[in-house]
Chains A and B, each alone.
Chain A
Protein backbone atom coordinates (compact mmCIF):
# COMPACT_ATOMS: atom_id res chain seq x y z
CA UNK A 1 0.00 0.00 0.00
CA UNK A 2 1.46 3.37 -0.94
CA UNK A 3 2.23 5.78 1.88
CA UNK A 4 1.23 9.39 2.32
CA UNK A 5 2.57 11.53 -0.50
CA UNK A 6 3.15 15.24 -0.40
CA UNK A 7 3.91 17.55 -3.28
CA UNK A 8 6.02 19.42 -3.87
CA UNK A 9 8.83 18.28 -1.59
CA UNK A 10 10.64 21.60 -1.71
CA UNK A 11 9.40 25.09 -2.43
CA UNK A 12 10.92 28.56 -2.41
CA UNK A 13 8.61 31.56 -2.33
CA UNK A 14 8.91 35.28 -1.78
CA UNK A 15 7.28 37.26 0.99
CA UNK A 16 3.76 38.30 0.09
CA UNK A 17 3.16 35.44 -2.30
CA UNK A 18 0.76 32.59 -1.65
CA UNK A 19 1.43 28.86 -1.78
CA UNK A 20 -0.60 25.66 -2.05
CA UNK A 21 0.66 22.34 -0.73
CA UNK A 22 -0.88 18.99 -1.59
CA UNK A 23 -1.31 15.77 0.35
CA UNK A 24 -2.54 12.40 -0.86
CA UNK A 25 -3.47 10.11 2.04
CA UNK A 26 -3.10 6.37 2.19
CA UNK A 27 -5.84 4.65 0.23
CA UNK A 28 -8.91 4.17 2.42
CA UNK A 29 -7.90 6.80 4.95
CA UNK A 30 -10.50 9.48 5.45
CA UNK A 31 -8.84 11.79 7.96
CA UNK A 32 -6.05 14.17 7.02
CA UNK A 33 -4.18 16.41 9.44
CA UNK A 34 -1.56 19.08 8.82
CA UNK A 35 1.33 20.08 11.05
CA UNK A 36 3.96 22.79 10.87
CA UNK A 37 7.48 21.99 12.08
CA UNK A 38 9.99 24.75 12.82
CA UNK A 39 13.16 24.77 14.90
CA UNK A 40 11.72 27.42 17.22
CA UNK A 41 8.14 26.26 17.72
CA UNK A 42 8.53 22.54 17.09
CA UNK A 43 5.60 20.54 15.74
CA UNK A 44 2.32 22.41 15.80
CA UNK A 45 -1.10 21.26 14.70
CA UNK A 46 -2.66 23.27 11.90
CA UNK A 47 -5.96 21.57 11.10
CA UNK A 48 -7.72 18.27 10.52
CA UNK A 49 -10.17 17.30 7.81
CA UNK A 50 -12.59 14.42 7.63
CA UNK A 51 -15.16 13.83 4.91
CA UNK A 52 -14.38 17.21 3.36
CA UNK A 53 -15.12 19.03 6.63
CA UNK A 54 -12.67 20.76 8.91
CA UNK A 55 -13.02 19.02 12.27
CA UNK A 56 -10.33 20.69 14.29
CA UNK A 57 -8.16 23.77 13.97
CA UNK A 58 -4.96 24.91 15.66
CA UNK A 59 -3.92 28.41 16.67
CA UNK A 60 -2.78 29.79 13.35
CA UNK A 61 -3.85 33.01 11.63
CA UNK A 62 -6.50 33.01 8.94
CA UNK A 63 -3.78 33.15 6.28
CA UNK A 64 -3.54 29.41 6.75
CA UNK A 65 -6.41 27.48 5.22
CA UNK A 66 -7.09 24.07 3.88
CA UNK A 67 -9.60 21.84 2.22
CA UNK A 68 -10.28 18.22 1.52
CA UNK A 69 -11.71 16.71 -1.63
CA UNK A 70 -14.13 13.84 -2.04
CA UNK A 71 -11.24 11.44 -2.69
CA UNK A 72 -9.74 12.49 0.68
CA UNK A 73 -6.83 14.34 -0.92
CA UNK A 74 -6.13 17.56 0.89
CA UNK A 75 -4.53 20.89 0.15
CA UNK A 76 -3.39 23.64 2.42
CA UNK A 77 -2.92 27.22 1.37
CA UNK A 78 -0.90 30.00 2.93
CA UNK A 79 -1.58 33.49 1.67
CA UNK A 80 0.57 36.58 2.07
CA UNK A 81 3.64 34.60 3.03
CA UNK A 82 5.88 35.84 5.84
CA UNK A 83 9.47 34.89 6.59
CA UNK A 84 8.25 33.05 9.68
CA UNK A 85 6.21 30.70 7.54
CA UNK A 86 9.41 28.95 6.49
CA UNK A 87 8.96 25.45 7.83
CA UNK A 88 8.50 21.79 7.11
CA UNK A 89 4.80 21.14 6.56
CA UNK A 90 3.77 17.60 7.39
CA UNK A 91 0.59 15.87 6.40
CA UNK A 92 -0.72 12.82 8.24
CA UNK A 93 -3.56 10.49 7.38
CA UNK A 94 -5.54 8.05 9.48
CA UNK A 95 -8.40 5.67 8.84
CA UNK A 96 -10.92 7.55 10.90
CA UNK A 97 -11.39 10.26 13.46
CA UNK A 98 -10.33 9.66 17.00
CA UNK A 99 -7.11 9.74 18.95
CA UNK A 100 -6.67 5.99 18.90
CA UNK A 101 -6.20 5.71 15.16
CA UNK A 102 -2.59 5.68 14.06
CA UNK A 103 -1.53 8.67 12.03
CA UNK A 104 0.81 8.01 9.12
CA UNK A 105 3.01 10.93 8.17
CA UNK A 106 4.23 11.96 4.77
CA UNK A 107 7.80 13.15 4.09
CA UNK A 108 6.76 16.78 4.26
CA UNK A 109 7.06 19.85 2.10
CA UNK A 110 9.94 22.15 2.97
CA UNK A 111 8.84 25.72 2.37
CA UNK A 112 11.42 28.50 2.33
CA UNK A 113 10.19 32.09 2.25
CA UNK A 114 12.73 34.71 1.17
Chain B
Protein backbone atom coordinates (compact mmCIF):
# COMPACT_ATOMS: atom_id res chain seq x y z
CA UNK B 1 0.00 0.00 0.00
CA UNK B 2 1.41 3.43 -0.93
CA UNK B 3 2.51 5.53 2.01
CA UNK B 4 4.03 8.86 2.89
CA UNK B 5 7.59 8.48 4.11
CA UNK B 6 9.53 10.96 6.20
CA UNK B 7 13.19 11.27 7.08
CA UNK B 8 14.81 11.48 9.50
CA UNK B 9 12.61 9.93 12.17
CA UNK B 10 14.39 11.96 14.84
CA UNK B 11 16.53 15.08 14.51
CA UNK B 12 18.36 16.81 17.32
CA UNK B 13 19.71 20.25 16.56
CA UNK B 14 21.20 23.19 18.37
CA UNK B 15 19.22 26.39 18.68
CA UNK B 16 19.92 28.69 15.76
CA UNK B 17 20.84 25.91 13.36
CA UNK B 18 19.02 25.19 10.13
CA UNK B 19 17.16 21.93 9.67
CA UNK B 20 15.59 20.32 6.65
CA UNK B 21 12.86 17.75 7.11
CA UNK B 22 12.19 15.51 4.16
CA UNK B 23 9.08 13.82 2.89
CA UNK B 24 8.21 11.62 -0.05
CA UNK B 25 4.46 11.92 -0.62
CA UNK B 26 2.33 9.26 -2.27
CA UNK B 27 3.28 9.31 -5.93
CA UNK B 28 0.07 10.40 -7.67
CA UNK B 29 -0.93 12.91 -5.03
CA UNK B 30 -1.14 16.60 -5.85
CA UNK B 31 -1.65 18.38 -2.52
CA UNK B 32 1.05 18.39 0.12
CA UNK B 33 1.01 19.54 3.68
CA UNK B 34 3.13 20.00 6.75
CA UNK B 35 1.58 19.78 10.19
CA UNK B 36 3.16 20.12 13.61
CA UNK B 37 2.31 18.48 16.92
CA UNK B 38 3.87 19.72 20.12
CA UNK B 39 4.13 16.92 22.67
CA UNK B 40 0.74 16.14 24.18
CA UNK B 41 -1.11 18.63 22.04
CA UNK B 42 -3.23 18.55 18.92
CA UNK B 43 -2.02 18.45 15.34
CA UNK B 44 -1.64 21.96 13.93
CA UNK B 45 -1.61 23.00 10.28
CA UNK B 46 1.53 24.71 9.03
CA UNK B 47 1.35 24.94 5.25
CA UNK B 48 -0.28 23.50 2.15
CA UNK B 49 1.42 23.26 -1.24
CA UNK B 50 -0.09 22.73 -4.65
CA UNK B 51 1.11 23.26 -8.19
CA UNK B 52 4.58 24.20 -6.97
CA UNK B 53 3.47 26.99 -4.72
CA UNK B 54 2.15 27.57 -1.25
CA UNK B 55 -1.65 27.51 -1.17
CA UNK B 56 -2.14 28.47 2.44
CA UNK B 57 -0.02 28.93 5.53
CA UNK B 58 -0.79 29.37 9.18
CA UNK B 59 0.46 31.99 11.62
CA UNK B 60 3.03 29.48 12.82
CA UNK B 61 4.62 29.37 9.37
CA UNK B 62 6.65 32.56 9.64
CA UNK B 63 9.69 33.74 7.69
CA UNK B 64 11.88 31.11 9.34
CA UNK B 65 9.98 28.37 7.54
CA UNK B 66 10.06 27.45 3.88
CA UNK B 67 8.93 24.53 1.76
CA UNK B 68 10.18 23.12 -1.51
CA UNK B 69 9.42 20.37 -3.93
CA UNK B 70 12.80 20.30 -5.60
CA UNK B 71 12.57 17.28 -7.84
CA UNK B 72 8.94 16.19 -8.27
CA UNK B 73 9.37 13.54 -5.64
CA UNK B 74 10.57 15.05 -2.38
CA UNK B 75 8.76 17.69 -0.36
CA UNK B 76 10.90 19.47 2.21
CA UNK B 77 10.34 21.75 5.16
CA UNK B 78 13.23 24.01 6.11
CA UNK B 79 13.53 25.87 9.37
CA UNK B 80 16.24 28.49 8.96
CA UNK B 81 17.15 29.28 12.53
CA UNK B 82 15.59 26.87 14.98
CA UNK B 83 14.20 27.97 18.32
CA UNK B 84 13.53 25.87 21.41
CA UNK B 85 9.81 26.16 20.79
CA UNK B 86 10.20 24.52 17.39
CA UNK B 87 10.65 21.21 19.18
CA UNK B 88 7.74 19.05 18.06
CA UNK B 89 6.69 16.20 15.81
CA UNK B 90 6.44 17.35 12.23
CA UNK B 91 4.09 15.43 9.97
CA UNK B 92 3.99 15.50 6.21
CA UNK B 93 0.71 14.62 4.53
CA UNK B 94 -0.49 14.29 0.97
CA UNK B 95 -3.83 14.13 -0.76
CA UNK B 96 -4.85 12.78 -4.13
CA UNK B 97 -6.61 14.72 -6.90
CA UNK B 98 -10.06 13.29 -6.31
CA UNK B 99 -9.96 12.60 -2.61
CA UNK B 100 -10.47 14.73 0.43
CA UNK B 101 -8.66 12.61 2.99
CA UNK B 102 -5.03 13.32 3.77
CA UNK B 103 -2.56 10.53 4.45
CA UNK B 104 0.13 11.19 6.99
CA UNK B 105 3.73 10.10 7.30
CA UNK B 106 5.23 8.68 10.48
CA UNK B 107 6.60 12.04 11.46
CA UNK B 108 9.96 13.56 12.31
CA UNK B 109 10.60 14.30 15.94
CA UNK B 110 12.58 17.56 16.07
CA UNK B 111 14.37 18.34 19.30
CA UNK B 112 16.01 21.75 19.58
CA UNK B 113 18.55 22.04 22.40
Does B bind A?
no
Chain B contact residues, CB within 8 Å of chain A: none
